[in-house]
Amino acid sequence: MQVLRSQQESIRPRRVFYLVVLLLLIFRTFYFFPGMSGIYELWNVICFLYLVFAYPLLKSREHWKLDGFEWYVIALIAIVPIMSAVCAQSEFGQPILYGLLTERSMVAVAAVLFCMHRLRIGFFRLSEVKSALMILAWGTAILWIFMRLALNPANYVNPANYGFVSEGDQPIFALPAQFILIGVLYYALRGLRTGKSRDYLLALLLFTGAIDKTSGRVMILSILVTFLFFAVRWLKLKRLLILLPTMAAGIGLLVGLLYLAAPKIVTDRIDQFQAVFIVAFTGEASDDPSANGRIPQVLLASEGIQRRPLLGSGSISAQWEGGYRETLGARFYPEDIGLIGAVYNFGFIGLIFFASQYWFAWRAVKGRLPESNSALSDAAKGFIFYTLLGSTMFIYHITTTLFFIMLLRFMASRQWAAASSTAQVIA
């Protein structure tokens, strides 16, 4: 039995390589890098062809057995682009075709169906998924740190590099941290299970790859809250009373050392957090232009929500009439203002539709046996919980969250199948 399990969970390097490439496409990691958008547009076409031709063929061989999650994914791909296009046409007069093309990346959600099928037939193994995720976590962290230290983002400031370099007086690289964060949660939550300091140190070291001069304040707070949430749920009171003061002392020591080495970075970070609270709770301008820039965007979005609260105003293509800037007469990026921007785009009905994916995650977690917890499943649960905390990743980067929900569901189904098989053998 142990030999068979070892053979089933062995890691095949070629499959890990396939997964690394596949996950880079699914997470759209390099989409905004110069010259890379064409590759991701080709990926959209490949996903569309898979959904229209290959997927129906595979399901026909299974006598068209689709579970609720598969129906949900297909409904997302079909409904969201049409709903957004119709609403944008009604609100702004944007042609339907532009609206459909604006949401063309929704078709890439079909990659989640592909991964689910590959896992079911054993083409990919969970051990290989874990290896690929860890390779990408450390690989992107090292690459991002190198770019910040060795390259000057000011050299890449031009309209063609939108999304690669942030706007502002001091441009910085806008680098996605999804892989890094899943790695951070993998080690941090494994540390809660094992109690080993090494896991916490690896998590902290990896997290440095996600931090830059203006790294997301919401991201930092959400990761901290996620860790504390699982610590309170999993640990006994005695261990928790030891962990929390130790963690606070460790963070304080780290901040103190950083302040001695680079005091301006620490004071700037504190000022940025203060600016967020000033803007959020008073509505007044602060000294942080990033936080201040969200005030007029929230006001614009609020007006749109009042006009179309149920289905939203849809998404405007940057290729039509100058995009949001020309249509609304101001700088406007719905993703920058969180759930308010999401409701502006898709309405409250759309928000509920997107949020329904968490029901599948809850069912998967509820359906798992207590002894079936693993570092990978813990990391998946942690990442899904993280996306709930002030993040719109489950809307604007939905393929990422759906991938981990699919992963949780697969692990739950496999665990129950194994338990059922064991019970039958015993009987």
SS3 425: helix
251 contacts: CB under 8 Å, gap ≥ 6: none
| pLDDT(175) > 60 | yes
Give the residue from 19, 49, 24 showing the smallest Cα distance to 36.
24
CA atoms within 13 A on the CB side of 333: 11
More confident residue, 268 or 117: 117
Q: Considering only CA atoms, which of 387, 413, 363, 415 is closest in space to residue 178?
A: 387
Which tens digits make up the pLDDT trace of 277-290? 555 555 555 555 55
Give the separation between CA 20 and CA 260, rounded to whole angstroms: 39
Select from 223, 225, 227 the least CA-distant residue to 243. Answer: 227
Q: How far is CA 197 from CA 71, 187, 243, in A?
A: 43, 10, 11
Single pTM value for the model: 0.88
Provide the mean pLDDT of the chain: 85
Distance from C-alpha of 273 to C-alpha of 222, rounded to nearest angstrom: 13
Tokens encoding 384: 């899904």
pLDDT for res 15: 97
Selection from 328, 276, 326, 270 nearest residue 299 by Cα: 328
- State the DSSP H helix or E strand holding residue 343, giving kind and residue range, or none if neither: helix 338-355
Q: Which amino acid is at 364?
A: A
> What φ, ψ does residue 173 adopt, rounded to 5°?
-70, 130
Phi, psi of 165 (to 5 degrees): -125, 130
The answer to which of 94-103, 260-269, 346-355 has the lowest mean pLDDT is 260-269
| pLDDT at 4 > cutoff 50 | no
Mean pLDDT over 159-174 rounds to 72
Helix (H) or strand (E) holding 298: helix 294-307
Q: Hey, what long-range contacts does 55-60 have (CB within 8 A, 24 or more apart)?
A: 55/110, 55/113, 55/114, 58/117
Which residues, other chains included, contact 237 with Cβ-Cβ below 8 Å and sequence gap of 6+? none
Distance of CA 167 to the CA centre of its chain: 22
* Higher-pLDDT residue of 289, 150: 150
Q: Where are the alpha helices (DSSP H) in 211-262?
A: 217-234, 237-261
**How many helices (DSSP H) and strands (DSSP E) are in the chain?**
21, 0
pLDDT, residue 107, reads 96
> Distance between alpha carbon 255 and the CA centroid of its chain, in Å?
27
Going by pLDDT thresholds of 50, 70 and 90, the confidence category of residue 271 is: low
3-state secondary structure of 222: helix
